[in-house]
Amino acid sequence: MYDKNKGFEYEKIAEKYLLDKNYIIEKTNFTCRLGEIDIIARKDGILHFIEVKGRKNTDYGYPREAVTLIKQKKIIKVAKYYFMLAGSDDFPCQFDVIEIIMDVKIINHIENAF
């Protein structure tokens, strides 16, 4: 069962991680009728669309495994909508996943995940 509070906690951990790595957070929880992107951040002229996944442990697999092809396609559609709202789509971007595993205190930033 999905716990919205846990998801929020994982996103806050990811935000702090990104800020510590000198990313500029542009938006969190960008939502439209097509879906949601957890974090939109910028670093070195690249816009990062970031999906955050976390778990207490890996008993049921790694968090990154929950970013399925269907989820990836949805995130890409939301990113296109974000660019449409911004009036530009010629900005370099990439799609990242940040996975958090709480019991071993691991934050794994997978850049260009898809």
Q: Where are the domains of the chain?
A: 4-110
What is the band of 3 on the pLDDT scale with cuts at 50, 70, 90?
low
d(CA 59, CA 92): 36
Give this prediction's pTM.
0.92
The pLDDT tens digits for 46-98 are 999 999 999 999 999 999 999 999 999 999 999 999 999 988 877 899 999 99
Selected from 3.40.50.300, 3.60.150.10, 3.40.1350.10, 2.40.50.140, the CATH number assigned to the domain covering 4-110 reads 3.40.1350.10
pLDDT of 7 reads: 76
What is the arithmetic mean of pLDDT over 13-20?
98
Q: What is the structure's pLDDT at 44?
A: 97
Q: Which of 18, 40, 20 is CA-nearest to residue 28?
A: 40
